Amino acid sequence: MQDLGIDKFGPFLLLQLAAATIVLCGLAAAVYRGTRDRKLSTDQEIRPGNARWYFDGPMNAALETLRDTYRVMCSIDNEVEKFGEEFRTHTRLLEEIKQRLIEIKDQGPRRR
């Protein structure tokens, strides 16, 4: 009869086979769970566009803070432009009023 070399595995051959079977079944279950389709939550949904970003935890909070800061800075920039335009308009109107008052002042003594 041919020697199968079973004696080199030691006295606990059945225990080793059971452990190997459990490990292989665990790996198969992990692969199955990793490859199956699952429903994504709202924060994990794929965003439109070519770039897809998946950040969680502190990184997500930091990015949201930066995005909110950028929005505030953009709105401030837009407000500055609006107030600058209003300032130029009011300055121009005040200059016209000043010129008109100077003209009226110059015309006033001549009429008397």
Give me the number of domains the chain comprises.
Answer: 1
| Domain-located, residue 81 | yes
* Secondary structure in 3-state letters for the chain: CCCCCHHHHCCCHHHHHHHHHHHHHHHHHHHHHHHCCCCCCHHHCCCCCCCCCCCCCHHHHHHHHHHHHHHHHHHHHHHHHHHHHHHHHHHHHHHHHHHHHHHHHHHHHHHC
Q: Taking the complete model, does pTM exceed 0.75, yes or no?
A: no
| Domain-located, residue 109 | yes
Instruction: Name residue, tokens 């930091």.
Output: 62
State residue 52's pLDDT score.
Answer: 42
| Domain-located, residue 47 | no
* pLDDT tens for each residue of the chain, 112 residues long: 566 666 676 777 788 889 999 999 999 998 888 777 666 666 666 655 434 445 566 777 788 888 888 888 888 888 888 898 999 999 999 999 999 999 988 887 655 4
Residue 107 domain boundaries: 56-112
| Domain-located, residue 25 | no
| Domain-located, residue 9 | no
| Domain-located, residue 83 | yes
